Structure 1
Amino acid sequence: MLNKVETVETGWRKARGEPSLLDVFRTISVAPGATPWRKFLAFFGPGYLVAVGYMDPGNWATSLAGGAQFGYTLLFVALLSNIMAIILQALCARLAIGSGRDLAQACRDAYPRAVSWPLWLLAELAICATDLAEVIGTAIALNLLFGMPLEIGVVVTALDVFVILWLQNKGFRWIEAFIITLLGVIAICFGVQIALADPDWGQVVRGFAPTTQIVTNPQMLYLALGIIGATVMPHNLYLHSGIVQTRAFGESLPEKRDALKWATVDSTVALMFALLVNASILILAAATFHKTGQTDVAELGRAHELLAPLLGLSIAPTLFAIALLCCGLNSTVTATMAGQIVMEGFLDIKLPAWVRRLVTRLVAIIPAIIVTWIYGASETGKLLILSQVILGLQLPFAIVPLVMFTASRSKMGEMVAPKWLTVTAALIAAIIIALNMKLLFDLATG
């Protein structure tokens, strides 16, 4: 066993340091001889924290715009994004369990500072773009539910730091319970709205089939990349590789393999749930806005305003706003932890959670306040979509290191990814990079 550990460590430039999120590291026990059901329950949770990032307010904006403009066509992109996410999150769990490092620590320990520091800056940019979407989404939800002005709502969102600190003090299982409860509320809200919208299920099924229009139509490609950026989110790769290590799964090879199996089951089931929510948003937009010729709906506030007359019930807009608020609250919790993991992992700097949260929040709040003050609610949808495109452009800088680390036997030892998984993940990275280049070319040429 000692030789194996030494073999793994010789693949890294630096020795493994303290884990990120030290206060919750290995705090949830996993009984070695437990039944499969008990092991499933032991690993049940991290996948749903990851799934939150796949249905945040930025995702709503891109899915609403895609459904309103192009009907059910972009459902294929939502499905493709989800498949990409399942594979990449499985690699994150493998990296964490096999090497004992999250993705940020792995970059720090594998690369010189000339490489790791730019990667850290890009990761911080991705988290700020994520937080920007959450700030605007939560502020819009507060406005829709309570009539709170957007400018005030944006500032109020900074107070969620106290909710997060309270949950962290209660224990990691409380954070997971909070997240899963709000996800349940979101699912119920959309279930009712889809039933009211009564979509054409034949067209829904056909929407999951691929089409060349997605690449040939620049506007469709822009929204498709926004959906990919909103679905396969860079900060989730850092987050998952950190929170998987809240489980005390043991150090032997059989225990690690067993842990990887259950962690992958957890994330896969959670991401299939996320696909249902994402598809529901797009289907709702297609069945209400696209069907009635309202093809320019991208702002969340306008979508809320149109739901009552189109669906015929006053409860529909309220359900929409409640689901949006739950999404915003959920996303702020996971973005906080991702921010901690990125800063602690890359820089080995331990900041109090409330300091890290406020710094991240301020960076997101300032542009949100400027946009809402100058343009009001009319331009927030465009800012949300732009934030998701920024995430899509940053994705390769997180995916490529992840694929390289998990494919390296010197770094992963016996937990190295099988060839088929590495090839599949590399293909996903190539597709995302190609889409980014096409998008940049289209933007440059007008």
Structure 2
Amino acid sequence: MTIMAKILISLLGTGKSAKNDNNKNNYTTTTYKFENNNKLYRNQQYATNPIIEKYKIDRLFLIGTSESMWDNINEIYSDNDDSDYAYKILEKKENADIDDCFLQPLNDKISKKLPGSECFVVLPGDNQEELWGIFEKFQKIIENLSEQDQLYLDITHLFRSHSIMSLIVAEFGKIRAGFKIKGIFYAMLKKDEASVIIDVSIFYELLSWGQAISNLKNYGNSFELKKLINTNIDDKNISGKFNQLSDAISISDMRSLQKSINSLSQTIDNFKTSSNKILPLIASDLEDFFNRFKNQSLPEFQLNLSKWYHENKNFSMAYMCLAEASVSIMCKKEKLDDTNKDNRKEAKDILFSWSDYKNNKKLSTKEIEIGKTFKKINNIRNNIAHNLPASNSSSKSSPNDSIKNLDDYIKVIAEWL
């Protein structure tokens, strides 16, 4: 996929105060370097410039308060002496009177080197209203990013609330627009040696892994976890097996899903002992998931899968699995091969005959209950699968009743097993 643009959002702080005079304030000049890289970036006041150089940033968005060091940024990006505008910045900064419109000349200067760049003034964030205002400024940037763009964040300067907000809005925007967050940088100032710019996106990635695990355990959605494993895990054996598991979940292939779970459960020690820092953290969650389903007969597996989908509020899949579990249980009771299509039809016919208790006086009370329950399950399952209108529906159960009664249906079939 072609990369449209590399975007850097950088937070601009206030530096040392310059109250009561027009002398510009500064950050301490330092030498920067990146973690695990010996290249030195000397005589720098901001981590922003080394990030721009190293990652070949295309567009810069600067966010600061009216008292941030816009004068220093103006000095960096001015090709000639613009003392009048520089003085006005200092004067307005002294009075906390800088706004977005006033910074338009600075936008133009930065855009000569990084086209499309822009500066935004935000409030300190001392209350809920100001926080929403900060969110709206961040959102103005984020909403113009495309799926192909790559976003970098520099959270070194400004107030910590702004750093937190930048992370939250970036995640919010990523979910909506689909762009990639490639780096989150924080520079640690050191006096007697090079200040290191570290990528702290690992903490952000932990949130993504946690959400992906939650999606699998609570919603039956394995897509995000599959994507993270394929992106971050070098072990092709693990990623390949998890891809099979995810695909089986996605299309509800119960036999393939059972096979994948049994196969992956045998590799759980690889997760626990992996050199990758993330895998051991999620190993116990995956192990709990695998243990719930591994080494079960087909009827047991299908029934537990129905329970799982029910817990995850995926009621249509719960009904499909419950209907198939009922047929598999009958195959087991009648000693029929449950992999044979004709045998499964025979088992289903027996279940239907149990529902016709008026013409079959030899049925026990339990068999009648199972037959009636299966008929309801199967009718609801068919209506869901074929999207039948109410006039042609074989089941008169409303969606609300189908959801409400599902737990009782599962209990009837589970007791029979």
TM-score relative to the length of structure 2 = 0.19
Query: Larger strand proportion, structure 1 or 2?
Result: 2
Tell me which of the two structures has the higher relative contact order, counting C-alpha pairs closer than 8 angstroms and 6 or more residues apart. 1
TM-score relative to the length of structure 1 = 0.18
Query: Larger helix proportion, structure 1 or 2?
Result: 1
